[in-house]
Structure 1
Amino acid sequence: MHRKWFGLAFSILLVCGMALAGCGGGGSGTKVKVGEVTRSIFYAPQYVAIEKGFFKEEGLDVELQTTFGGDKTMTALLSNAIDVALVGSETSIYVYQQGADDPVINFGQLTQTDGTFLMARDTKGEFSWDMLKGSVFLGQRKGGMPQMAGEFTLNKKGINPRTDLELIQNIEFANIASAYASGTGQFVQLFEPQASIFEKEGKGKVVASFGVESGHLPYTVFMAKQSFIGKNKDTVQKFTNALYKAQQWVDSHSAEEIADAILPYFKDTERDIVVSSVKRYKEQGTYATDPILDEEEWNNLLDVMDLAGELKERVPVGTIVDNSYAEKAKQAAK
C-alpha cells in the first residue's frame, strides 16, 4: 500500500546513490541539501533563486539534487540524506497519518496549482469534457497529487473516473509520455515541457488545464523535519527569504527572461519550449508569489485527498504547516 512507502523504504544505498542533478552547490556559506521531487519547469522560482544568487545573498550554499519521485524524496528527508524537500504537501500528510514522532513541516510554498494539462490525441472539433466518457485516459500514479487533482477535476465535470472511462495509472511517471507517444490512451495528463513538446511534434493538443480546474492547492512546498527546523531556525528563515525574492522576481519578469535564467537546468530542451512552458504556468497563476500556505488552499488539498480516498482524518493547517518564516520573509522585504 502506497502509504507505507516512506516508513519502510529507508534504503541507504538508494539514497546515497542518487545522482546530483542540480547546478547549485559548491560555494561558501551554510550548506543546505535540497531534494526536488523531479526536474521541472514547474519549479522555475527555485532555479531562479539559485541562478540569481538569492540563496548566496542570504549566506546559504544550496546543494540541489533530484530525488526522482515522492516516495524517494520523503525517504531521503526522513533518513537525513537531505535537509529540505521540495515535494507535494500530501506527502507530509501521509507521514503525519503514520504517527511520526518527528513530523514533516511545510514552511514555504512554491507552486499553488496543479501543473498538469489534459492532452487530446484527436484534436478535431471543439473540446468538451464529455468526450472523456468511454475513452482511454492515461493518468498518473495513485495517491500522488497529479492523479488526485485529475480525479477531483473529472468528478467536478460529472465524470466518474472509475466507471465512465478506462483509467490507466500503472505506468511509471517517467514512462507516461513515451507510453502516450507509442499510442497508449486517447487522452493523457502531462506536465510541461512535455505537453508543449508534443504539441510542437503534432502528437496532440492541450485542451484543458487541471491547474485551472482544481483551484489553488499547496501543490509543491519546501518542507523539513520538525527537528531540523528547531535546530536551524536561522537557516530556514534565510532559505525562505531567498525563496520570496525569487518568487517576486518571477512574478515581475517575462516568460522569456525567466526561461533564460533557468535554461542551465534544461540543457536538452529547446529555448522556445521552455518559454512556452513558463508562459503557460505564469498565465494560469501556477507560481506562488509568496511562500505562505493559506488555510483555504490547505482545505482544498484535504478535499482533493478525501475524494480520492487517501485521507484518514482532516489535519488542521497549523498542525504541520508553519507560515511564520514566510510571513517574516514578506515583512523583511518591505
Structure 2
Amino acid sequence: MKTNTKKSFRASLLLSALLCLTLMMSACGSGAGSQTSAEEPASSGQDASKETQTDAPKSPVKINVGYIPDLNGAAPIVVADEKGFFKDAGLNVNAVKFLSGPPEFQAMASGDLDIAYIGPGATFLAAQGQGKIIALASLGFGDMVYATKKSGVTDWKDLKGKTIGVPKGTSGEMILNLGLEKGGLKPSDVNIVNIDVAGAVSAFVASKVDAVAIWSPYTKEIEKQLGKENIVKLGDNRTFYPEYVFPASWVVNPKFLEEKPEVVQQFLEAWVKANDYKIKNVDETISLTSKYTQVPEDSLREQFETMEWIESSKIAGYMKDGTAVKWFENLEKMFVDNGKMSEVVPGDKFIATEPFVKAQEAAGGN
C-alpha cells in the first residue's frame, strides 16, 4: 500500500509539472504566433525574402540625351533635373552637349545617344529615317542672316559672289536658302563655307566671311562684339512667316524607341512637366539655364523673345489633329527645293505622335 501510494503521489506531481509546462509553452506560443501573424500572415521565410526583393526600389534607368546650350535646347533638361521630374520618372539622364543637330544624329547612329533636341534645319535627317520626332519644342523666329557693313551687301541679291559662313543642316541654312531664292539667286551663286556656329561667329567678327547665317543667342554675341551699326540684317524667320513655320523638336533614336518604348514614355512624362513648368516660370528657367550652360542671362532673355513656347496640352492637340505633321511636311518641301531630299516623306513615317499624347495624359492633361 505504501509503495503504491508513493508511486501514485509521484505520478501526480509529474503530471502537474507537465501540465504547467504545457500551459507555459502554450502562452509563449500564443504571443509569438500573434506577432508572426501580424507581420507575415501566411509567408514562409523564403516567401518573405521574395517579397522584400519585389518591393525593393528599382535603380534609375540611364539614358543619354543630347542638348544644345541655349534656352530652347537646354531648358527642359535643366528644369526636369532641378525639379526632380527625371528622378520621379525613374530616369538617370546623362546630358551631352552639342552645338547643332547633324552631329547628334551621328551619335544616335553609333548608339551613343538615345534622345536629342534639334532645330528645324536638322528635320530632314529625321525625315530620312535617322530619328523619330516625339515632341515639339517651340516655334522659332531667331534664325538670321547678317552681312558686314563693309561687304556692301544691303539686300539678298547683293550676296551674289559673296562668302557666307553657315553650319550646314541647320535652320540658319534654311533661312539663307529662302533669302537667296527671294533675291533671285541659287546656292551655287554664292560661296558657302560650312563651319560650326562658334566658328561662324569668329569668322564674321574677323571679316573672314561677308555674311553669316546663324541663330540667337549667337547673333546677340555678334552684335555685342561688332556693334549693330556695323551689321546689316538681311532677314529672319519672320521674313517668311506664316508661309513657313519653323518648329524645333525632340527626336529619339528609332532603335531605342523600338526596344525601349517604356523608357521613352518615362522621358516624355518628365519632359511634359518640365515644359509646362518653364512656361509658367520663365525668369527662374532662364536663371537655371544660364547657370547650367554658362550663357549670360541677358542673352537667353533676348533669345526668349525670338521663340514661341507651346503648352503641352496644345502640343498634344497639334499631334492629334495633324497640325504638326503639316508643319514638318512643309519644311520637307524646302529641303526638296534645296536638294537635301529627293521627295517629301509622309510625316507619319518619322513623327511618333502617340507617345507624347499618352505622356501628356499621364501627366494630368486633358
Asked if these proteins are the same fold (TM beyond 0.5), I'd say yes
**CA-to-aligned-CA distance 1:38-73 (integer Å, 9 cap, x gap):** 433331333333333322232221111124554432
- 3-state DSSP class of the match of 1:216? coil
* Match among 246, 252, 270 for residue 223 of structure 1: 252
Give how far 1:187 is off: 3.1
**CA-to-aligned-CA distance 1:89-120 (integer Å, 9 cap, x gap):** 222223x3xxxxxx632212223336422334
Give how far 1:138 is off: 2.3
Say whether the 8 Å CA contact 2:145–2:235 is kept in structure 1.
yes
Give how far 1:141 is off: 3.6
Residues 1:76 and 2:107 aligned together: yes
* Match among 36, 39, 46 for residue 77 of structure 2: 46
Residues 1:270 and 2:296 aligned together: yes
The structure with higher relative contact order (CA 8 Å, sep 6+) is 1
Alignment partner, residue 152 of structure 1: 178
Residues 1:289 and 2:311 aligned together: yes
TM-score by length of 1: 0.74
Give how far 1:297 is off: 0.9
Residues 1:183 and 2:207 aligned together: yes
- Length, aligned pairs only: 287
Say whether the 8 Å CA contact 1:42–1:115 is kept in structure 2.
no
Alignment partner, residue 50 of structure 2: none
- 3-state DSSP class of the match of 1:321? coil
Say whether the 8 Å CA contact 1:109–1:222 is kept in structure 2.
no
Quickly say closer, same or farther: Cα 1:173–1:274, change in 2 above 3 A. closer
Report the residue type matching 1:241 in the other structure. Answer: E
Superposition CA RMSD, Å: 2.9
Say whether the 8 Å CA contact 1:113–1:219 is kept in structure 2.
yes
Report the residue type matching 1:271 in the other structure. Answer: E
Give how far 1:135 is off: 7.4
Give how far 1:315 is off: 0.8
TM-score by length of 2: 0.68
Identity %: 22
Give how far 1:76 is off: 1.9
Report the residue type matching 1:90 in the other structure. Answer: F
* Match among 247, 267, 270 for residue 242 of structure 1: 270
Report the residue type matching 1:119 in the other structure. Answer: Y
Task: For 2:220 and 2:342, locate their aligned partners in 1 and report how far apart those are by CA, in whole Å.
Answer: 37
**CA-to-aligned-CA distance 1:217-246 (integer Å, 9 cap, x gap):** 343322222x32233222111211222222
- 3-state DSSP class of the match of 1:313? coil
Give how far 1:30 is off: 1.7
Report the residue type matching 2:236 in the other structure. Answer: F
Say whether the 8 Å CA contact 2:166–2:195 is kept in structure 1.
yes
Give how far 1:302 is off: 0.8
Alignment partner, residue 63 of structure 2: 32
Quickly say closer, same or farther: Cα 1:139–1:304, change in 2 above 3 A. farther
* Match among 93, 105, 125 for residue 91 of structure 1: 125
Structure number with the higher helix fraction is 2
Matches within 5 A, 1:1-334: 29-36=60-67, 38-43=68-73, 44-87=75-118, 88-94=122-128, 96=129, 104-113=131-140, 115-122=142-149, 129-130=155-156, 132-134=158-160, 136=162, 138-155=164-181, 157-162=182-187, 166-204=190-228, 205=231, 207=233, 210-214=236-240, 215-225=244-254, 227-254=255-282, 256-267=283-294, 269-278=295-304, 280-282=305-307, 285=308, 287-290=309-312, 294-332=324-362, 333-334=364-365
Quickly say closer, same or farther: Cα 1:253–1:211, change in 2 above 3 A. farther
Task: For 1:171 and 1:61, locate their aligned partners in 2 and report how far apart those are by CA, in whole Å.
Answer: 33
**CA-to-aligned-CA distance 1:239-283 (integer Å, 9 cap, x gap):** 1122222222232333x332112122222x3332232223x234x
Say whether the 8 Å CA contact 1:110–1:222 is kept in structure 2.
no
Task: For 1:210 and 1:151, locate their aligned partners in 2 and report how far apart those are by CA, in whole Å.
Answer: 11
Task: For 1:137 and 1:213, locate their aligned partners in 2 and report how far apart those are by CA, in whole Å.
Answer: 22
Task: For 2:191 and 2:221, locate their aligned partners in 1 and report how far apart those are by CA, in whole Å.
Answer: 23
Report the residue type matching 2:140 in the other structure. Answer: T
Give how far 1:323 is off: 0.6
Report the residue type matching 2:133 in the other structure. Answer: N
Task: For 2:353 and 2:256, locate their aligned partners in 1 and report how far apart those are by CA, in whole Å.
Answer: 16
Give how far 1:151 is off: 0.6
Report the residue type matching 1:223 in the other structure. Answer: V
Task: For 1:78 and 1:168, locate their aligned partners in 2 and report how far apart those are by CA, in whole Å.
Answer: 27
- 3-state DSSP class of the match of 2:65? strand
When Rg is computed on C-alpha atoms for both structures, the one with the higher figure is 2
Task: For 1:104 and 1:274, locate their aligned partners in 2 and report how far apart those are by CA, in whole Å.
Answer: 28
Q: Which runs of 5+ in 1 are unaligned?
A: 1-27, 97-102
